[in-house]
Amino acid sequence: MEGSFGSYTDKTRVLDIKPLRTLKPVFPSGNQAPPFVCAPPFGPFPPGFTPFYPFSSSQHTPDLNQNNTSEPSLVTPLRTFRSPPPPPPDTATNGDAVELTVKRKIPRKRTPIAQNPNFSSGITVAEKENGDRKLVMSVLTRFDALRRRLSQLEDAKESVTGIIKRPDLKAGSTCMSRGVRTNTKKRTGPVPGLEIGDVFFFRFEMCLIGLHSPSMAGIDYLVLKGGGEGEEEPIATSIVSSGYYDNDEGNPDVLVYTGQGGNADKDKQSSDQKLERGNLALEKSLVRNSPVRVIRGLKEASQSAKIYIYDGLYDVKESWVEKGKSGHNTFKYKLVRAPGQAPAFASWTEIQKWKKGLPSREGMILTDLTSGVESIGVSLVNEVDGENGPAYFTYSTTVTSFKLTQQPSYGCECGGACKPGNLNCHCIRKNGGDFPYSGNGVLVGRKGMVHECSPACLCPGCKNKVTQMGVKLKLEVFKTVNRGWGLRSWDPIRAGSFICIYAGEAIDKSQMQPTVANDDYTFDTTRVYTPFKWNYEPGLADEDGTEEMSEEPELPLPLVISAKNVGNVARFMNHSCSPNVFWQPGSYENNGQLFLQVAFFAISHIPPMTELTYDYGVTRTSGAQSLCGKKKCFCGSEFCRGSFG
DNA sequence: GAGGTATCAGCCGC
DNA sequence: CGCGGCTGATACCT
């Protein structure tokens, strides 16, 4: 066995951990996209109106798969702040009627997905069957945007105990039925647009992009039509390893997987597993020597979330039957990772070891370049050359010399905790009626300005101070091959997660020295930034005309920050024309002062050790309107503009 | 209190 | 149509 296994066992060798993948999310260039229009729910488009396909390519083939045959459905308006569920039909009233009615099991019929007849996924029939990277990224972005929005609306409702909502399932089924999906053609082996190391936070994400179609079951398979006599035989395409079924340690390239079925369930005894469906499919994959995609699920302590890593192709090498804990027969399959694939899960297990300090990270120069300023140490690493650190600067987490007095504003009066949806709360009102973050601190949508609660707010566990709480990820400053120092994370990052603010010294632009303008360590909100769409599409699940909100930054005044002498980790983030991070203006008040800042959030899910990059924009040049940056770009993106800054 | 376990609605595919 | 499945969030334990 060449390379990969050997390097794993030989701990003396320098581990060449590469980014799990290069993220290249793609968005339509702004100048092509017509302005977003809320189409009328019915009927012909007004003359001159072009339907907007937020993420599609220039091709707008009508979606023939679109299922418009269902009756005009009940539509749940997206913007409802408090709508208690309708009381149960109350047919059989018996003695215990005093009990909380919501606890009752309400016989539900499947809520039909809002069918906006004018909605088109913008994904052609062909693209739906076979995707590519661009499409995969856009489907994931659209799904998560909707999921965040549904989650926000859910948070805003009166908390009703006993009812558990699942924004992930709702968003997933909406995307499914509206055709926001790709790679529907089942296949063994690689899936177009998927890269080894891709990370997911929901099972539904893997369904939508054709990596693994069942929303729960661990084994996915397709049925091969036999050579004539009606013979059919299942063959496995992919499995999801939950990590629950003890699959012991050791070699990350080997996986022992338990077959499906036989589990004890509510009022059901556990039983022997049968050699059918998924179990049979894995058996057939073994005899046919057919590769199986493996997704490793694991509980990530740093995020208290379940995470899935696409770990590439494995071969089924052995199968056997074992007595499970319940004493019943269980199928076991031993899968071994095909050689020559980029490390993914193996890197992950390696990072877990670094966190424990054994073995220590190779190439580590400093365990914490912030000297304790950040609550989590930021390591400094060079695995490339002999340079032992960036030029000296002062580490600070704030924007200094920046004072903007204003009339004292109302403090937050919520007392307990700001209740999402409570329009009497100033925090909520300033944010346009919506709480900007979902419960786990993920930014719901881009907007002109995110208003956070004052540091003086005493609400216990206030959820509206995300950026004030500082860096929560385990970050690393590292030497890149051709772009100086860069920034990346040991932790996987969920789309919408806060990364850091841009700290430094605020500059009065009118007095700015020309030399400062050329500085690599300057953030300037007045530059021209490539617009892109990240928020949910109202038309996807809603036809009641929730208005589209602008995603473009809006600041009361231009903000120019220099991190040359004073700054935080943000000063190390490099430019990319296909970035995985965006910046978002934010503000909060304290002691009669308004604090303005620029905060960075993840565009998409970012696997560990992937370089974090954002769009540096292009300086407006007076006179000549050429949007040509001053620096040559080495981002390596397929869509590289060639220059920036 | 952190971390584990029980509970349960929810969805798609078979 | 009915149900199974290596969900995922929360309530409730230790």
Distance A241 CA to C8 C1' (A): 16
Question: Count of residues for chain A?
Answer: 645
User: Does the nearest atom of strand B lie within 7 Å of A215's Cβ?
Assistant: yes
Cα gap A502→A170, rounded to integer Å: 35
Position A26 confidence tier, pLDDT thresholds 50, 70, 90: very low
Distance A298 CA to B7 C1' (A): 21
Mean pLDDT of A26-50: 33
Q: Which nucleotide is nearest to A205 (CA to C1')?
A: C7
CB-to-strand B under 7 Å, chain A 180-209: 207
pLDDT digits (tens, 9 = 90+) for A361-390: 889 999 999 999 998 999 999 999 999 999
Strand C surroundings (CB within 7 A):
A 159, 161, 164, 166, 168, 201-204, 214-219, 240-245, 257-263, 265, 268, 278, 297, 305-306, 439
Strand ranges in A242-291 using DSSP code E only, listed in sequence order: 254-258
Residues 6+ apart with CB under 8 A from A109: none
Residue nearest the C1' of C9 (CA based): A164
User: Does the nearest atom of strand B lie within 7 Å of A75's Cβ?
Assistant: no
Mean pLDDT of A99-111: 39
Q: Which nucleotide is nearest to A218 (CA to C1')?
A: C6
Q: Residue A233 falls within a domain, yes or no?
A: yes
User: Does the nearest atom of strand B lie within 7 Å of A169's Cβ?
Assistant: yes
pLDDT digits (tens, 9 = 90+) for A279-300: 889 999 999 999 999 999 887 7
Q: Residue A109 falls within a domain, yes or no?
A: no
Q: Euclidean distance between the first and final Cα of chain A, in Å?
A: 47
Cα gap A421→A24, rounded to integer Å: 35
Q: Which nucleotide is nearest to A258 (CA to C1')?
A: C6
Mean pLDDT of A94-113: 38
Beta carbons of A501 and A618 less than 8 angstroms apart:
no
Q: What is the reported pLDDT for A619?
A: 85
Q: What is the reported pLDDT for A99?
A: 33
Q: Which nucleotide is nearest to A166 (CA to C1')?
A: B10
Q: Residue A325 falls within a domain, yes or no?
A: yes
CATH assignment at residue A299: 2.30.280.10
Position A404 confidence tier, pLDDT thresholds 50, 70, 90: low
More confident site: A454 or A511: A454
Q: Which nucleotide is nearest to A173 (CA to C1')?
A: B11
| Whether the predicted pLDDT of A173 surpasses 70 | yes
Give the angle A581-A130-A57 at the CA atoms, nearest 5°: 55
How many structural domains is chain A composed of? Answer: 1
| Closest residue by Cα to residue A338 from A255, A259, A281 | A255
| Closest residue by Cα to residue A4 from A347, A322, A466 | A347
Quickly tell me which residue has 């949007």 as its tokens: A627
Position A91 confidence tier, pLDDT thresholds 50, 70, 90: very low
Residues 6+ apart with CB under 8 A from A279: A219, A259, A260, A261, A273, A331
Q: Residue A266 falls within a domain, yes or no?
A: yes
Q: Which nucleotide is nearest to A216 (CA to C1')?
A: C5
Cα gap A595→A557, rounded to integer Å: 12
Report the relative pairing of strands A450-451 and A581-590 from DSSP bridges.
parallel
Cα gap A519→A566, rounded to integer Å: 13
pLDDT digits (tens, 9 = 90+) for A449-497: 999 888 877 766 677 888 988 998 999 999 999 999 999 999 999 999 9
| Whether the predicted pLDDT of A88 surpasses 90 | no
Distance A218 CA to C1 C1' (A): 24
Q: What is the reported pLDDT for A628?
A: 63
Q: Which nucleotide is nearest to A203 (CA to C1')?
A: C7
Q: Residue A617 falls within a domain, yes or no?
A: no
Residue nearest the C1' of B13 (CA based): A214
User: Does the nearest atom of strand B lie within 7 Å of A264's Cβ?
Assistant: no
DSSP string, A328-363: SEEEEEEEEEPTTPPPSHHHHHHHHHHHHTSSPPTT
More confident site: A133 or A34: A133
- Here the tokens at position A111 are 């809520």
pLDDT digits (tens, 9 = 90+) for A260-269: 877 666 555 6
Q: What is the reported pLDDT for A581?
A: 98
Chain B positions with a protein C-beta closer than 7 Å: 3, 8-14
Residues 6+ apart with CB under 8 A from A473: A302, A376, A489, A490, A491, A493, A497, A499
Residue nearest the C1' of C7 (CA based): A216
User: Does the nearest atom of strand B lie within 7 Å of A268's Cβ?
Assistant: no
Q: Residue A174 falls within a domain, yes or no?
A: no
Q: Tell me the range of A248-252, A302-306, A477-481 where mean pLDDT is highest.
A: A477-481
Q: What is the reported pLDDT for A46?
A: 35
Q: Which nucleotide is nearest to A240 (CA to C1')?
A: C6
Cα gap A619→A641, rounded to integer Å: 14
pLDDT digits (tens, 9 = 90+) for A546-565: 667 788 898 888 899 999 99
pLDDT digits (tens, 9 = 90+) for A580-609: 999 999 998 887 788 899 999 999 999 999
Q: What is the reported pLDDT for A153?
A: 82
**DSSP character for A143?**
H
Give the angle A206-A495-A504 at the CA atoms, nearest 5°: 160
CB-to-strand B under 7 Å, chain A 363-422: none
Q: What is the reported pLDDT for A483?
A: 93
Domain span including residue A322: 198-341
Chain C positions with a protein C-beta closer than 7 Å: 4-11
Cα gap A330→A279, rounded to integer Å: 10
Average pLDDT, chain A: 76
Residues 6+ apart with CB under 8 A from A75: A114, A542, A543, A544
Distance A146 CA to C14 C1' (A): 38
Q: Residue A82 falls within a domain, yes or no?
A: no
Distance A122 CA to B13 C1' (A): 25
Q: Residue A488 falls within a domain, yes or no?
A: no
Beta carbons of A433 and A418 less than 8 angstroms apart:
no
- Here the tokens at position A193 are 């647009």
Helix axes A133-156, A167-178, angle to 10 degrees: 130
Distance A7 CA to C7 C1' (A): 36
Q: What is the reported pLDDT for A507?
A: 85
